[in-house]
Amino acid sequence: MRVLAVGAHPDDLEILCGGTLARFSREGHDVVMCHATSGDRGSFVTTSEETAAIRDGEARRAAEICGAEHATLGLHDGEVNAADPAQRTLVIDLVRDTRPDLILTHHPQDYMSDHNEIARLVFDCSFHATLPLYETSRPHHEKVTPIYYMDTVMGLGFQPTEYVDVSEVIETKVAMLEAHQSQLVWLRDHDGVDIVEQMRTATRFRGLQCGAQYAEGFIPCLTWLRGMTKRLLP
């Protein structure tokens, strides 16, 4: 399969579904990790341009550790907007370029707008990507791609219906997140959290729910045209 994972910011995929992506990659599937924004507004010490360049390098390194391909939409933090026609074209072309069999993205009710708007963009544009008369520079995708919503940050308001055992790849997941060194500092200084410890705890918590050492939780998007007769997660 070709698996497209779309997170709002560099580090979201690593926190919320990094173990599942590592498993997909390890099991021979092609994985594309896309962050919508450049992470350009999360620093007390560097300029937006400097921050974006640092975070791009960190995200590329994390994708490399996963064995995934790196992609970004290059949007500004805080400006993800599902109603913006230019952003819709970017996501349609992301789908048309990657031609996924499965998409992982944010749950529509997470803790901040960029996450929720990306959920909406991916839901809408993975449908519109199949319309030949929704013309962009790329040919239309053949099918409306199934979507799994990944966990919310700290699992708040999210009841998983599917779990992926990531016990064997937990250290890969940790290494992917630790590639985001500038983000670890930012989240410590801005939010008072050790994000690696938080991620490990949340992944352990999901593991305890399903009888695994570590796990990640998901909810399938079960609208018409996206129903699945078999499980697509590892």
- Measured CA to CA, the distance from residue 225 to residue 127 in angstroms comes to 9
Decide whether 4 or 16 has the Cβ nearer to Zn ion.
Answer: 16
Q: How far is the CB of 106 from Zn ion (least distance, A)?
A: 8
Which residue number places its CB atom closest to Zn ion?
Answer: 9
Beta strands, E only, the chain: 2-7, 30-37, 69-75, 102-105, 147-150, 162-165, 215-220
Length of the chain in terms of residues written: 234
Helices (H) and strands (E) in the chain, counts: 7, 7
Decide whether 9 or 206 has the Cβ nearer to Zn ion.
Answer: 9
Decide whether 3 or 8 has the Cβ nearer to Zn ion.
Answer: 8
Q: How far is the CB of 129 from Zn ion (least distance, A)?
A: 23
Q: Site residues (CB under 5 A) for Zn ion?
A: 8-9, 12
Q: How far is the CB of 59 from Zn ion (least distance, A)?
A: 12
- Measured CA to CA, the distance from residue 18 to residue 110 in angstroms comes to 17
Decide whether 9 or 107 has the Cβ nearer to Zn ion.
Answer: 9
- Measured CA to CA, the distance from residue 197 to residue 202 in angstroms comes to 9
Q: How far is the CB of 8 from Zn ion (least distance, A)?
A: 4
